[in-house]
């Protein structure tokens, strides 16, 4: 347990002031960057970023879970920092946007009982399955709910694919696979080949099963197609969950939403007289039809619920000439809070995820605040809540924008910046989607970096952070950071660092601040995004989505409408 005395804030203030005077210590991160002296004096530095991460990822902030002390400390810290930098509050005079959510703490029964053929099968909570509900009901019971294997659980007219075709699953429980058809068998002719589409995401699987009227939906966890280990599922799907408030109190959702291990799925299919591998192979072929397993599931969930509001933090620097046009910077402030202990540590500090993005957000605001040349367009800084629970804060902002969406030029999102030194690459998640790629390419060139598309599109990163909520309503969004090649130590080193983070630290208590980490890469990324924002703020252009992007039509429609907030 590490606590930071109040003097930390004083130390930070001292540093900010030092920063403002342009003698930040870390200009090396931008070897060869044009105007390196400008870079050196823009106030962006690994030191400032490190200080913010130290605070936000401290045990004192308790892993920054919404509705906890961690939320209060985090949102007040962010608002205070923005205020100190002279940033204005949102249009209603507040640095906070209330985000109404419902917290549901689900306690599943210790077992799921499977019966119907031969020996009954018992699955155990946490060991074999996890389960939650989005229904605001004190008790959920599934009694002898018929089990159906529904392949990938996808209904995709754009790919002539329907895993529910010909079977009514109302009241039944469907077992589905994660990711898109084709991925696990290496068939790149299906869907978008190696790149995951939204159909591959767990959120989509639950949404589609609910549309089909299923009582329960259970996703089979498999580390490669899921791109995270079972321990992440255990920690993310246990304890209280947050959901958007809905008028029907979640009644239109499946009563039970869960995951089971691959091993449990194999035992289940064997109990049904089926073979998991054969079923999975069939699910990866066009024309797959859902398979009733002839088994029934009995289990229950009890819940406590709380309806309240979490907070997005918003701050703005008005533009000097076209203040009614906005460049949006976003980063989620929330993380997993206090959860299942790992080696005695139960605080999920979230230093990389996403204290790093919040630190960069604050440092970029500092750079704009101290820049001699004021931006012509307005700059908006948005730290959102509920990202870990399904992009809740950014989805709420997209549905209740504080600034007109069709006057929002772009969203520049930061999430989990790399903490292993300056990078030679700039990896763009969703490369090819919009003209923002060109801005990223130019800014990277300034830092003698090259652009690469996301190297692991099968992990669906485009759908896994807050830029997706803005893209979903048509705002061109950029999600890019250095990830592939360390400037000093090359690609192999970077690959090892990424794999170590994913296997050991992603959504684990060990994602902690350490003074030993080289934050030079975060400084680079923050500066690059600052430069893109500066450029956009000085232009009159509205970068567009490229042909073939699923967001292009949404934007064109939005731009044609009269602005509304």
User: What is the contact surface with Zn ion in residues (CB under 5 A)?
Assistant: 353-354, 415
- Could you tell me the two tokens for 524? 């680079």
**Which of 257, 415 has the CB closer to Zn ion?**
415
**Which of 353, 485 has the CB closer to Zn ion?**
353
To Zn ion, the closest distance from the beta carbon of 312 in angstroms equals 15
**For residue 179, which of 158, 160, 153 has the smallest C-alpha distance?**
153
Q: How many CA atoms lie within 13 A of 251 on its CB side?
A: 3
To Zn ion, the closest distance from the beta carbon of 60 in angstroms equals 20
**Which of 396, 403 has the CB closer to Zn ion?**
396
**Which of 276, 333 has the CB closer to Zn ion?**
333
To Zn ion, the closest distance from the beta carbon of 33 in angstroms equals 27
Question: What is residue 358's three-state secondary structure?
Answer: helix
To Zn ion, the closest distance from the beta carbon of 386 in angstroms equals 11
To Zn ion, the closest distance from the beta carbon of 257 in angstroms equals 21
Instruction: Report the alpha-carbon distance of residue 172 to residue 178 in Å, rounded.
Output: 19
In this structure, are residues 502 and 228 in contact, taking their beta carbons and an 8 Å threshold?
Answer: yes
Question: 527 has which bridge partners?
Answer: none
Helix/strand/coil (H, E, C) string of 114-153? EECCCCCEEEEECCCEEEECCCCCCEEEEEEEEEEECCCC
In this structure, are residues 415 and 466 in contact, taking their beta carbons and an 8 Å threshold?
Answer: yes
**For residue 151, which of 259, 297, 288, 263 has the smallest C-alpha distance?**
288
**Which of 464, 531 has the CB closer to Zn ion?**
464
**Which of 42, 411 has the CB closer to Zn ion?**
411
To Zn ion, the closest distance from the beta carbon of 466 in angstroms equals 8
Give all strands (DSSP E) within 192-349, no chain letters. Answer: 216-220, 240-244, 256-260, 291-317, 322-332, 337-342, 345-348
**For residue 468, which of 268, 191, 201 has the smallest C-alpha distance?**
201
Phi first, then psi: give them for residue 378, nearest 5 degrees.
-80, 150
Radius of gyration of the chain (CA): 24
**Which of 208, 353 has the CB closer to Zn ion?**
353
Q: Virtual CA dihedral for 551, 556, 559, 564, nearest 10 degrees? A: -60
Count CB atoms within 10 A of the CB of residue 124.
Answer: 11
To Zn ion, the closest distance from the beta carbon of 149 in angstroms equals 32
Count CB atoms within 10 A of the CB of residue 496.
Answer: 13
To Zn ion, the closest distance from the beta carbon of 413 in angstroms equals 10
To Zn ion, the closest distance from the beta carbon of 342 in angstroms equals 18
**Which of 33, 354 has the CB closer to Zn ion?**
354
In this structure, are residues 461 and 429 in contact, taking their beta carbons and an 8 Å threshold?
Answer: yes
β-pairing, 291-317 with 377-384? antiparallel
Instruction: Report the alpha-carbon distance of residue 536 to residue 331 in Å, rounded.
Output: 19
**For residue 474, which of 440, 433, 442 has the smallest C-alpha distance?**
433
**Which of 482, 543 has the CB closer to Zn ion?**
482
Instruction: Report the alpha-carbon distance of residue 145 to residue 213 in Å, rounded.
Output: 13
Instruction: Report the alpha-carbon distance of residue 311 to residue 97 in Å, rounded.
Output: 6
Phi first, then psi: give them for residue 52, nearest 5 degrees.
-65, -40
**Which of 257, 353 has the CB closer to Zn ion?**
353
**Which of 48, 355 has the CB closer to Zn ion?**
355
**Which of 293, 336 has the CB closer to Zn ion?**
336
To Zn ion, the closest distance from the beta carbon of 353 in angstroms equals 4
To Zn ion, the closest distance from the beta carbon of 416 in angstroms equals 5
To Zn ion, the closest distance from the beta carbon of 91 in angstroms equals 27
Instruction: Report the alpha-carbon distance of residue 278 to residue 266 in Å, rounded.
Output: 11
């Amino acid at each position: 347990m590490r606590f930071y005395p109040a003097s930390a804030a004083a130390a930070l203030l001292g540093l900010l002031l030092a920063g403002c005077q342009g003698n930040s210590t870390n200009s090396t991160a931008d070897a060869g960057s044009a105007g390196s002296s400008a870079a050196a004096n823009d106030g962006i530095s690994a030191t400032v970023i490190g200080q913010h991460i130290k605070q936000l990822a401290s045990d004192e902030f308790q892993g920054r879970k919404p509705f906890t002390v961690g939320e209060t400390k985090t949102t007040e810290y962010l608002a205070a920092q923005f205020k100190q930098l002279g940033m204005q509050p949102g249009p209603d005079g507040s640095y906070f946007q209330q985000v109404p959510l419902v917290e549901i703490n689900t306690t599943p029964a210790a077992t799921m009982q499977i019966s119907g053929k031969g020996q009954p099968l018992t699955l155990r909570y946490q060991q074999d399955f996890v389960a939650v509900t989005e229904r605001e009901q004190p008790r959920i019971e599934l009694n002898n709910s018929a089990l159906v294997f529904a392949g990938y659980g996808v209904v995709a007219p754009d790919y002539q694919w329907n895993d529910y075709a010909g079977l009514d699953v109302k009241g039944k429980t469907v077992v589905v696979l994660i990711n898109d058809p084709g991925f696990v068998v290496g068939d790149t002719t299906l869907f978008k080949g190696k790149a995951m589409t939204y159909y591959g995401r767990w959120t989509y699987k639950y949404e589609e099963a609910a549309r089909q009227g299923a009582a329960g939906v259970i996703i089979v966890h498999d580390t490669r197609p899921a791109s995270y280990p079972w321990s992440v599922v255990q920690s993310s799907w246990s304890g209280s969950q947050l959901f958007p408030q809905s008028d029907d109190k979640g009644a239109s959702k499946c009563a039970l939403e869960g995951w089971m291990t691959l091993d449990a799925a194999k035992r289940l299919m064997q109990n049904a007289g089926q073979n998991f591998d054969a079923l999975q192979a069939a699910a990866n072929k066009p024309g797959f039809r859902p398979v009733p397993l002839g088994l029934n599931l009995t289990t229950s969930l009890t819940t406590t619920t709380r309806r309240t509001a979490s907070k997005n933090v918003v701050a703005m620097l008005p533009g000097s000439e076209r203040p009614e046009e906005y460049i949006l910077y976003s980063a989620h402030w929330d993380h997993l809070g206090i959860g299942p202990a790992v080696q005695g540590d139960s605080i999920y500090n979230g230093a990389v995820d996403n204290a790093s993005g919040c630190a960069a957000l604050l440092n970029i605001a500092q750079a704009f605040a101290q820049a001699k040349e004021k931006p012509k367009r307005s700059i908006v800084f948005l730290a959102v809540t509920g990202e870990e629970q399904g992009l809740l804060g950014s989805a709420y902002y997209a549905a209740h924008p504080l600034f007109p969406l069709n006057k929002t030029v772009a969203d520049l999102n930061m999430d989990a910046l790399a903490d292993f030194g300056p990078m030679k690459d700039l990896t763009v998640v969703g490369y090819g989607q919009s003209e923002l790629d060109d801005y990223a390419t130019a800014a990277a060139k300034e830092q003698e970096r090259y652009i690469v598309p996301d190297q692991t599109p099968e992990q669906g990163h485009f759908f896994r952070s807050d830029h997706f909520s803005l893209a979903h309503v048509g705002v061109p969004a950029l999600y890019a950071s250095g990830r592939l090649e360390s400037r000093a130590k090359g690609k192999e080193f970077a690959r090892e660092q990424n794999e170590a983070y994913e296997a050991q630290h992603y959504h684990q208590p060990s994602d902690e601040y350490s003074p030993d980490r080289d934050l030079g890469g975060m400084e680079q990324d923050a500066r690059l995004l600052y430069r893109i924002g500066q450029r956009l703020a000085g232009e009159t252009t509205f970068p567009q989505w490229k042909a073939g992007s699923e967001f292009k039509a949404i934007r064109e429609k939005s731009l044609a409408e009269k602005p509304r907030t």
